[in-house]
Amino acid sequence: MNVKEQTKILKVHLHSLKQKFEKGEKPENPKDKALFSQVKKETTPVFQLLEQWERDVLQLIKTRKVNIHPQQIISTRENMELLLMHSYYLDVRRKRYMELNHSVLYIFDQLQTELD
């Protein structure tokens, strides 16, 4: 799978995470093992895709195929990982969540533009 497809899939995940955050209710017990298992099961494929995406994009940057700073890609991965957790545990203010969301979306959009 190429970077363009990976980015498209990650954008879909980003959108669904935002919906989960906005519609979700804070878990009664954040230390509940069933909740942890569910979150792990649902987020593991996204974490893996994100890791692959980061490696692939950094390789594109090395070969100068895209003009984005490597630190932006690393930060985007970290921010997306934070969003993954915040979407399930609802442990951050809406304003902060939206800042992270917009930051990630901006880089995804910029990358897609560069690849077109």
pLDDT of residue 4: 95
Amino acid at position 99, single letter: E
Crossing angle of helices 70-89 and 33-62, in 10° steps, is: 170
pLDDT in tens, 37-46: 999 999 999 9
Given the structure tokens 């209710």, which residue do they identify?
25
Under 8 Å between Cβ of 7 and 53? yes
pTM of the model: 0.92
| Residue-by-residue DSSP string for 80-96 | HHHHHHHHHH--S-HHH
Given the structure tokens 């899939």, which residue do they identify?
9
Question: Between residues 55 and 1, which one has the greater pLDDT?
Answer: 55
Q: Count of alpha carbons within 13 Å of 57, Cβ hemisphere only?
A: 29
Confidence of residue 35 (pLDDT cuts 50, 70, 90): confident
pLDDT in tens, 106-115: 999 999 999 9
Name the fold adopted by 3-12+33-115: Four Helix Bundle (Hemerythrin (Met), subunit A) (1.20.120)
